[in-house]
Amino acid sequence: MKNVLRNPVIAGAIGACFFLATTPARSQGPAYKAPRTTDGKPVLNGIWQAMSTANWDLQPHSATAGMLWQAGAAGAEPAGMGVVEGSEIPYLPAALAKKSANFANRLALDPETKCYLPGIPRAVYMPFPFQIVQSAKQIMISYEYAGAVQLIYIDRTKLSPVDSWMGWSNGHWEGDTLVVDVTGFNEDSWFDRAGDFHSNKLHVVERFTPRSPDTLMFEATVEDPLTFSRPWKINMPLYRHVEKDARLLEFKCVPFSEELLYGSLRKKPANNQK
Amino acid sequence: MRNHFAFSLASIAAACSLSLPAAAQAQSGTAKKVPAAKTAAKPWTPPRTPDGKPDLQGVWNSATLTPLQRPANGPGAGKEFFTPEEAAQFTKQELARVNGDKLDGVGNYNEFWRDRGQLAPDLRTSMIFDPPDGRIPPLTPQAQKRIAEKRAAARGHDFDGPENRSVEERCISHRNAGPPMIPTNYNSNYQIVQSAGVVTLLSEEIHDVRIIPTDGRKHAPASVRMVNGDSIGHWEGNTLVVETTNFTDLTSYENTTPNLVLIERFTRTGPNSLMYEWTVSDPETFTKPWSARYPMFKPEGVHGDDVIFEYACHEGNYGLLDSLSGARAGEKAAAGKGGPPPAARAPREN
């Protein structure tokens, strides 16, 4: 794959196919030309956030009660049109059964409740802002949730040295689009609160394309032959935080998860943990 | 370092990539050939970022044997700089003192996992340079009282629940990440990425990213508190000056309060070196402010690569789980025998 892509003709042809395949979605209105860095790349700097219910469920879904009846309507799940192209995530049969089991036990199993690192692409559409800091050699994406970080290497392509929650990100530019190839995942993160999951064979290709001064189009192709019958794609806009004092704050959630994780081991457990 | 074994494959790989003999050679070579007190002579002009600011970017390593405070006795006591002979003696003694391979039982890491570094090239005897005695100034009476009360309240409750353990064991924060960023001897790696109006500093430990705006904005409102504090920066010549406030009581550094005002200064001093300096002002704790510094180095050629690995500490925190369940099991066993529970042992900091 890597060697093939190094061939400029083949890479160009693949790029062209990709462009043609994705053009219809973007053909409304004239193409937006983003401001440039000194080395001629689009500037993606800023604080961004998705405005969708994707973190609840990537697929189309109705409003429904939340995980804890005690939270009442405040914890309920809002409806959403879904962000998956073609609506359905193409699970292999055994994987679909596991997804259902995940959903049934989501309070205990969703890594989000435990303040675990979110993985990619979930970090992008969690209901928290993230900041892109762009230099020529590396692009750092700092996610407010759990202080997660994605360091994207532009200056070199490296194979992932080890598996990790956030994976290993190699980036390159295709026209105005930042393409991030992410591999080296462990099998522990989820895609959403609906139990959508993956194996450690996950391969994600993210595409960030400036759409207007204050919006980016985000697209992610998800491939995992142990879990899905074919690659599938999500896409959604990302919105810039335009408030004058917008900034990434701290959401170090470990203390918020400690009662859940360790409460039963206290010398004097709280009533609900006895 | 502590009994929670942050079981991240990434951290194992990071440790595995240390080439200890190479590190020792490269660093001891540097130490011997740089004469003390002559290093500040020649100014070096750092490269610039596209927006004309000093370029601090890259991966930096803070491992050092230079102590925070000047040794009270032995080699270096009462002196600002070690002689080369004293430096060799101090290094030998210090490495022997902290050697994890000599300890038995659980609760310590073997030396293989450590990144001890070595003395700063100018052979300073302490990171603290102000006050000139190289020691932390005396605590105020109110701080002495506060600390004594806190210790008394904690006594006998070491393993009651997660809140009784350190922020490091709980994977909330780490001395490496600070701020201030205090060198430890483990995962002492940082990466700086800059863009217009912002400097970001990723600490490998706990995967903390500090986003330091340099666009002239003010601190967040006082009611917004953060474990890592709220940092804003500005440039003074070739130096990035960062002021951090809005701390919490989870981030007590050398007994500081949440009202700590921390000033940090980052200055490139050469192609592969960066001076890190900080000043602690916390009148509720110290009778006067104090300042310290140490050099960071690019790890290229030492660790063989210049990448930061993911340190998923909380995600693999079996140590905290096992510490608490061990304490409960001990209490249960003791209750069965009618005696007091065995004294739980705190993890070693070696």
pLDDT in tens, B167-178: 999 999 998 888
User: B309, A162: Cβ pair inside 8 Å?
Assistant: yes
Chain A CB contacts of B327 below 8 Å: 267
- Region of poorest pLDDT, from A43-47, B168-172, B248-252, B287-291: B248-252
Distance CA A256, CA A224 (A): 32
pLDDT exceeds 50 at position B221: yes
Q: Which of B16-20, B125-129, B266-270 has the lowest mean pLDDT?
A: B16-20
Query: Taking the alpha carbons of A84, A52, A141, A173 in that order, is the dihedral positive or negative?
Result: positive
Residues of chain A above pLDDT 70, percent:
88
Q: Which residues of A touch B161 (CB under 8 A)?
A: 262-263, 265-268
Three-class secondary structure of residue B267 per DSSP:
strand
Rg (alpha carbons) of chain B, rounded to whole number:
21
| pLDDT over 60 at A55, yes or no | yes
Tokens representing B8 are 């991240």
Q: Is residue A72 very low, low, confident or very high in pLDDT (cuts 50, 70, 90)?
A: very high
Residues of chain A in contact with residue B328, where contact means CB-CB under 8 angstroms, are 265, 267
pLDDT tens, position by position, A123-167: 999 999 999 999 999 999 999 999 999 999 997 777 888 899 999
For range B322-331, the mean pLDDT: 94
Whether the pLDDT of residue B207 is over 50: the answer is yes
Within 8 A of A165 by CB-CB distance, chain B residues are: 310, 312, 315
pLDDT of residue A25: 46
DSSP lists the bridge partners of residue B297 as B61, B273
Average pLDDT estimate for A10-21: 43
Cβ separation A39–B314 shorter than 8 A: no
Beta partners for residue B244, in sequence order: B231, B262
Nearest 10 degrees: CA dihedral of B22, B25, B28, B30? -90
Whether residue A137 and residue B57 make contact (CB cut-off 8 A), yes or no, is: yes
Q: How many residue pairs from chains A and B have C-beta atoms closer than 8 A? A: 131
**Nearest chain A alpha carbon to B59:** A138
Q: What is the DSSP letter of A190?
A: B
Q: Are strands B189-195 and B58-61 parallel, antiparallel or unpaired?
A: antiparallel
Q: Rounded mean pLDDT of B109-138? A: 92
Confidence of residue B336 (pLDDT cuts 50, 70, 90): confident
Overall average pLDDT of the B150-159 stretch: 94
Q: Is A134 on the interface with B (CB under 8 A)?
A: yes
pLDDT band at B305 (very low <50, low <70, confident <90, very high): low
Average pLDDT value for residue range A194-210: 98
Grouping H, G, I as helix, E, B as strand and the rest as coil, residue B274 is strand
**CA–CA dist B50, A164 (Å, integer):** 33
B170: left (phi over 0), alpha (psi -120 to 50) or beta: alpha
Contact B193 A135 (CB under 8 A): yes
Q: Which amino acid is at A114?
A: K
What is the average pLDDT across B65-71?
Answer: 96
Give B320-323's long-range contacts (Cβ < 8 A, gap of 24+).
B320/A262, B320/B4, B320/B162, B320/B165, B320/B169, B320/B170, B320/B171, B321/A261, B321/A262, B321/A265, B322/B3, B323/B3, B323/B4, B323/B159, B323/B165, B323/B169, B323/B347
Under the banding of pLDDT at 50, 70 and 90, the label for residue B115 is: confident
Interface touch B226/A140, C-beta < 8 Å: no
The answer on pLDDT for B3 being more than 50 is no
Closest CA to A147 of A182, A116, A111: A116
Contact at CB, B224 and A249, closer than 8 angstroms: yes
Tokens for A54, please give them. Answer: 């994707």
Distance from CA of A70 to the nearest CA of B (A): 25
Q: What percent of chain B has pLDDT over 90?
A: 66
